[in-house]
Amino acid sequence: MKKIMIFVGALTLSGTMFAQKATKENPFSLEGQLSYNTSSLSFNAPSLRMRYFLADDLAARVSLSLNNSSTKDYYYELADNAGGEGTEINKTSMTMISLGAEKHFAGTDKLSPYVGADLAYGMGNTSAKWDKFDGNGYSADFTATAKAPTSMLGLNLVAGTDYYFAENFYVGLELGIGFQSMSEKAGEFTSTVAGTTTTSLSEPSNSSSFGNNFIGNARLGWRF
């Protein structure tokens, strides 16, 4: 009977430790995030986030993400995809940093729900390359390149939860909506048609959006 009681006590103690969330003595957390872009229906590059708990229910946070994407399309001389082949390559790269805060609510020993807000800023560039493609179809004598710097400013409202599956280790899910403004500055466009090369500046452009833009994060974190 004594051995049984010791065994039950050990299980109880280990269960308590398993469910224990961090306290003020370990206010930092570091997590990796995988974001789903609801606009393009694709995953963004993983990002990192550091949080500092000012209190058990209040945290400041800073996130850093690098987003690089590339697409390549093919265009053919003939309707049955025979003959000459033209290509169009588009690339986008952006480094984004965001600052924000979270308000946590009473959950369970393992679950910590929260709401928060982020102010995000990003800088990068877009580029394109056309080879035997003039924007309308296959063109054997046409090549061109374009490149322009871009920037982004966004304000996002988020809601999420941390689930502590072990002491100080958690997984989480975060969703949100927000406003995002994209700006593309004047860039350089160089084209070659039948051996003659010309260079010009492209027009700057701006766009904005509001909605469940790019936030849908699955997270794995460590609070220390």
C-beta of residue 5 within 8 angstroms of C-beta of residue 199 = no
Looking up residue 179, the CATH number of its domain turns out to be 2.40.160.20
CA 38 to chain centre: 11
Structure tokens at 127: 């580029």
pLDDT digits (tens, 9 = 90+) for 108-135: 888 999 999 999 999 999 999 999 999 8
In whole angstroms, give the CA distance from residue 48 to residue 50: 7
Question: Other CB atoms closer than 10 Å to residue 107's CB: what's the count?
Answer: 15
Query: Token pair of 203, please?
Result: 């027009």
Query: Distance from first CA to last CA of the chain, Å, rounded?
Result: 39
- Best CA proximity match to 206, nearest among 173, 176, 183, 179: 183
pTM higher than 0.85 for the full model? no
- Domain residues for 153? 2-223
Number of domains in the chain: 1
Q: For residue range 17-75, what is the model confidence (pLDDT) as tens digits? A: 333 455 557 788 988 876 655 555 555 667 889 999 998 889 999 999 888 888 999 99
- Pair 185, 149: CB distance under 8 Å: yes
Strands 205-211 and 216-223: unpaired
